[in-house]
Structure 1
Amino acid sequence: MSKFNLSQLMNTESKKQIVAFKIEHIPLDNILPSPKNNYSVDDVSELKSSIELLGLQQNLVVRIKDDGAYELISGHRRLKAMQELRNEGNKDFEKAPCKIVKSTDDIQAELQLILANSTTRVLTDAEKTKQAARLHELLQELQNSGNQLKGRKREIVAQLMGVSPSQVQRMDSINKKLAPELKEAFSEGEINITAAYEMSRLPEETQKEVAQEYREGKPLTPSLAKEKRQEIIESEQKEKPMTHELDSYPEQFEAIVQGLKTFMCGFNNQSFRVGDKLKINEFNPETILYTGRFVEVRIIYLQEGGANDIPVDYVIMSIKKIR
């Protein structure tokens, strides 16, 4: 698949506007943060020191909205750092050099916002996971508006984020299936992305159990999730009807085939349970060979040994012919 590029989704005029961009110094108060920016801008102390010492090394990117306002696409942390410097009395930072993009397409603007943040800052796994979900939504909106996407959305998201499609698939599982409390722990860095993914694969009720254990102080690790999955698998195997193979002499075998023999008694060495299937193979003691004939029956009732005069380790089973 050819590499996805946002320019594929732009008309000729939009491409010309991006190529022929201009730089303007815009008063900080005239630059509005994007309402779509969900990335943290809390701690800009180091960035502020760098800008104060070396100046702004990378221009802000803004777009002109229909009402003439400047909306920030890229540079929210830089804008905040400059605002703090200005508020501290440094008049050198009353305006910011801005690259002006004249596109009024909200979807393209948000895509540019996301991609700018993915290349200009170190994101946590939780932020990347949210980013993947939003990129998928935006690509779907583009598709719904008539734009043709070359390739599957998951692969495009992977290209845009610089990760593998399988990693995007894991993020998708976290976004869609991880319980809210566990997702909050993931956002706070209490669990890593591997643990979050493994837990997202657990049933809802099991995730609630894990969340309760977390509240009680148990660490959320990938091994914990795998242990829970193994418990589920073992439980399902216990509950799932099993098939057992038994041998029968010709006379008894024929009685079962005819529906005349509706019970069996024998050594309980296969953990028989109600609902299990028995495949009964006909065995000829004279030739000491199997005849190749078999009949399948279902256990509909059983009485284990140790009661009602049934020897210990033996079982009596009521059976019903299947075929």
Structure 2
Amino acid sequence: MLYRYMDMSEAMYELRLLAGNGYTQPLTAYEKTRLVERTKAALMRAKEEDGLEIQGKMRDLIAAMLNESSTNVARMESINNNATPEVKEQLKSGNMGITAAYEAAKLPPEEQKAIADKVAAGEDIRAKEIAAKVAEKKAGDNYETPHPESITSLCYSCQRYKDCNVKTGTCEKCDQYINKAEAEKTEEQRYNEEQDRIDKQTRKKLQERADKEKMENLPSAGKAVDKVHEIKIAASYYDDVTSGRKRFELRKNDRGYKVGDTLKMLEFEDGKHTGRIIDADIIYMLEDYAGLEEGYCILGIDVKAFSGMVSETDTGGGGGRADRGAKEL
């Protein structure tokens, strides 16, 4: 039993009664709607007569007092303010739920009355149908009948869909929304998703690192890139080149040779590659010189490696080819 204290005003006493009803009494949809209306009126009265300070939105305060969501309170306020007596009567009789009444309250009075009359006659009109009518009314001539794949209501993906009494086909935001797919995932699914996320981040970081290294290794402006030229060398010259006796090549400059490039010289005998190779750097270049045929050049080369070379140990640590820094391929 709720007692009234001597210094308690009528408005404050009524607020305590209303709040108690919201928490302790099982109420119908219509009774909840009326309770919201009475609570709002009592709050306004307490504010004017008793100087009650209301912080934040009044809707949120009413929701907290009556153990309701702010969304539901907003819908009930809309019914109280906009629904016709006929719609409220059908809500009171239980023929129409809060969601249907809320959607109907968005329509003109004559259309609300028509819907209420159909409901009173026993016709089953769902909230979704009324919401579609509201959307059609808003869109006017540009209205298109929605297709299932275009419905974006949160309700259909909410874990509370079956038990919710205010679900609609047009909901875009709800403070009670719980993503059904997310809430019902198994531990294994969550683990796999986490691993996929980590793998994705790792791949992204590796790609970013590779892109960064690629950019860092780009040739600077004005600096040409050294090339590797694969050319043939007659078997009769192979030993002369590897021994260091022949440190030049006379070549037609049809490859754009330049100092710093590398020659990969493939030994050929009787028209066939023997398998032996010489790697040499171009360290000097002579062209456009008297006595040189036009288009030809002389390349000074430094042998770095070749097939079948003799190691320093085999030569007794002496000079020769190993002293020039060449290595065996």
Shared fold (TM-score, shorter chain, > 0.5): no
- Report 1 or 2 for greater relative contact order, CA contacts < 8 Å, sequence distance ≥ 6: 1
Task: Name the structure where strand makes up a greater proportion of residues.
Answer: 1
TM normalised by structure 1 equals 0.41
- Of the two, which has the highest radius of gyration? 2
TM normalised by structure 2 equals 0.40
